[in-house]
Amino acid sequence: MVSKVLQFFNKEVGAVNQAALLLGVFTLISQLLGLVRDRLLTSEVGVGEQLDIYYTAFQVPDFIFNLVATLISVMVVLPMILKITEQKGSEAAQKFFNQVFTGFFGLIIVVCIAGFFLIPHIADKVAPGFSPLQIQELIHVSRIILISPIFLGLSNIFGSITQMSKRFMLFALSPLLYNLGIIFGIVFFYESFGIRGLAYGVVLGSIMHAFIQVPALIKDNMLPRFAKIVDWASIKELILISLPRTLGLVSHNLVLLVLISIATTLGEGSASIFRLSMNLQNIPLALVGASFSVAAFPALAKDFTNGKTKEFLATVASAAKQIIFWSIPITILFIVLRAQIVRIILGSQQFSWNDTRLAAATLALFVISVTAQSLILLFTRSFYATGDTRRPTLINIISSVIIVGVSLLLIQTKYFVFIQAILSDIMGVSGIFGAQVITLAFVYSLGSIFNALVLMKVFQRLHVKKQEFGLGKTLGDSLIGSLVMGLAAYVGLHILDGLLSLSTFSGIFFQGLFAGLFAMVIGIWIFHLLDNEEYISLKNAIQRKFKGVKTISVTHEDIG
């Protein structure tokens, strides 16, 4: 029985569309667990001081993870392992992998120890709105969570092998287990240890995140061992290639650090609302952007390494079309159904109606950039597959500087109040305590859209040149279908408004469910009438069976 389970999770998945669909399914399950996690947090902890501390405590550990783990990440390790395997064989690849593992482990341990002693000196900068007692608790919780980057970083390295061998199922299972660990901490640790129990759950989840991939490493005879001798020249080459990407991710992490720091000054619960809303917008981002970009990356790296430029560009175009096709309708539905989504997922006795309205408004302003954020993931990976990490990094850093600069400038001027007043009127949250937080979400989305547009333009100028990606029809079809879906959802909400009791959980749930289902049926009909290529490709992908898929092959008929 155990061997059958392991065999199932170790199955290879080759075609990009099939891999993306598989990643999407597992990501959906993981995101559903994430919703359970957030629901438990709002019901057990509640929006306020404790939850603000919990979310703010991630800032330093996340910074360390992005600073160290991404220096030796799957985006760079995978192409190098593929190159070494083809040129020198699997034994040389195993030796290189051992050296990477040894170098990373030593570095992350040293940095985490340094972070342990540094946190007390920067805690008041991370959370300027916290009281001295809150700062002390923040220090303790941050130090516990500081263990997680070690295991998440190891998982990141292990992921290079599971992706290379096309075992996307194990790769996709890792975040699911991470959420399970956090849920375990909420249910079993919080009552005994308080907010520190939540941190213990994070550590447990990070451990499971890493070790679920070990069976694949053993099967491929790639389980890393500590190397007695490390070729530091190779590690240096790896780090130099990764450094631009690391700077880009660190800059994004600094954006979140600054925005959450500002949120701590906007009133109790503002940091929680910001983080909870971002978690909700991460659902479509993970389902669409992460799934297609992760699934496409091994094929992109392999095709470019082998000089198959046409196939490389075809894969980028196919993934971009799929992202647009999926993300725009989801964005519209999230905007129309935002109050129902927030109330169903986060609503509890400790999550008030004002909390719901504020979180819904913040979510809507986050989600308008989901398509842009998804394309950022894809085109950044497309650049990395070519070995070019500097250009996307520079673009990402510029975008991050713009977001941080505008946020800091606005918060210190009267324009912050002016923009916040306009946004509050549009989103219907005028007069609600802490409504200023929606302005931070709006600035974040504007910066993300700018980032995506510049990234795509530079990629097309360098690689596509006179050829056309052919995204116009997909974009047009998606906009038409999405707007019709949004109108259908809006009509559905108003029809059900008089038929269901919206003062109960079941009433809100069925109102959102039926309105959403009605909108999706209308959307499917519209895409069918438009003879949309991605819709046809989706039907074909669902009909395919995963069993027996052994090699990676981009289906050009699906690319169009």
- Residue 174 has a pLDDT of 84
Provide the residue range defining the domain that includes 261. 60-265
Q: Is residue 502 part of a domain?
A: yes
- Total-model pTM: 0.80
Do 87 and 24 belong to one domain? no
Say if 392 falls within a structural domain.
yes
Asked whether residue 553 is assigned to any structural domain, the reply reads no
pLDDT tens string 322-346:
899 999 999 999 999 999 999 888 8
552 occurs within a structural domain: no
Shared domain check, 218 and 283: no
Most confident of the ranges 304-308, 409-413, 511-515: 511-515
The reported pLDDT for the residue numbered 203 is 96
Specify the range with the lowest mean pLDDT, choosing from 13-17, 187-191, 224-228. 13-17
The residues facing 351 across adjacent strands are 348
> Does one domain contain both 512 and 378?
yes
Same domain, 64 and 43: no
Tell me: do 348 and 238 sit in the same domain. Answer: no
**Which range, of 83-97, 190-204, 357-371, 508-522, averages the lowest pLDDT?**
83-97
Query: What is the domain count for the chain?
Result: 2
Is the pLDDT reported for residue 543 higher than 80? Answer: no
Q: Return the minimum-mean-pLDDT range out of 399-408, 414-423, 507-516.
A: 414-423
Does 1 have pLDDT greater than 70?
no
Least confident of 184-188, 522-526, 537-541: 537-541
299 and 260 in a common domain: no
Q: Are 273 and 234 members of one domain? A: no
Three-class secondary structure of residue 13 per DSSP = coil
- Looking at the fold, whether 121 and 238 belong to one and the same domain comes out as yes
Q: What is the pLDDT of residues 440-462, one digit of tens each?
A: 999 999 999 999 999 999 998 88
pLDDT at res. 127: 93
Q: Could you tell me if 38 and 75 lie in one domain? A: no
Q: Is residue 7 part of a domain?
A: no
Given pLDDT bands bounded at 50, 70 and 90, which one contains residue 555? very low
Q: Which of 199-203, 219-223, 299-303 has the lowest mean pLDDT?
A: 219-223
**Do both 170 and 260 map to the same domain?**
yes
Report whether 202 contacts 149 (CB < 8 A).
no
Q: Flag whether 551 is in a domain.
A: no
* Pair (36, 79) in one structural domain: no
Task: Give CA–CA dist 505/501, Å, rounded.
Answer: 9
For range 370-390, the mean pLDDT: 89
Dihedral (C-alpha) 126, 128, 131, 137: value to the nearest 10 degrees?
0
pLDDT of residue 467: 56
- Distance, in Å, from the CA atom of 168 to the CA atom of 78, rounded to the nearest integer, reads 14
pLDDT value at 184 more than 90: yes
User: For the residues 536-541, what does the mean pLDDT come to?
Assistant: 73
CA–CA dist 356, 56 (Å, integer):
21
Mean pLDDT of the region 294-312: 81
Going through 411-521 in order, the beta strands assigned E by DSSP cover none
Quote the distance between the C-alpha of residue 270 and its chain's center. 21
Which range scores top for mean pLDDT: 115-119, 246-250, 311-315? 115-119
**CA 451, 452, 456, 457 torsion-angle sign:** negative
Tell me the mean pLDDT in the region 98-121.
Answer: 89
pLDDT for 426 beyond 80: yes
Q: Is pLDDT above 70 for 381?
A: yes
- Rounded to whole angstroms, how far apart are CA atoms 277 and 369? 13
216 or 284: which carries more pLDDT confidence? 284
Instruction: Kindly tell me if the per-residue pLDDT of 549 is higher than 70.
Output: no
Confidence tier at 547 by pLDDT (50, 70, 90): very low
pLDDT confidence tier of residue 222, bands split at 50, 70 and 90: confident
Structural domain ending residue among the three candidates 237, 265, 293: 265
165: confidence class by pLDDT, cuts 50, 70, 90? low
Of 232, 265, 298, the position where a domain reaches its end is 265
Q: What is the pLDDT of residue 216?
A: 78
Residues 254 and 290 in one domain: no
161 domain-assigned: yes
pLDDT given at position 156? 81
A 10 A CB-CB count for 1 gives 5
- Please, which pLDDT band fits residue 544 given cuts at 50, 70 and 90? low
For the ranges 54-68, 245-259, 341-355, 497-511, the maximum mean pLDDT occurs at 54-68
Return mean pLDDT, the chain.
83
**At 498, is the pLDDT very low, low, confident or very high (cuts 50, 70, 90)?**
confident
**Cα 416 from Cα 399, distance rounded (Å):** 20
Q: Tell me the torsion sign for CA atoms 271, 273, 274, 278.
A: positive
**CA nearest to 287, candidates 44, 13, 30:** 30
Is residue 195 pLDDT above 90, yes or no? yes
Q: What is the residue whose two structure tokens read 């946020």?
A: 407
Read off the DSSP letter of residue 69: G
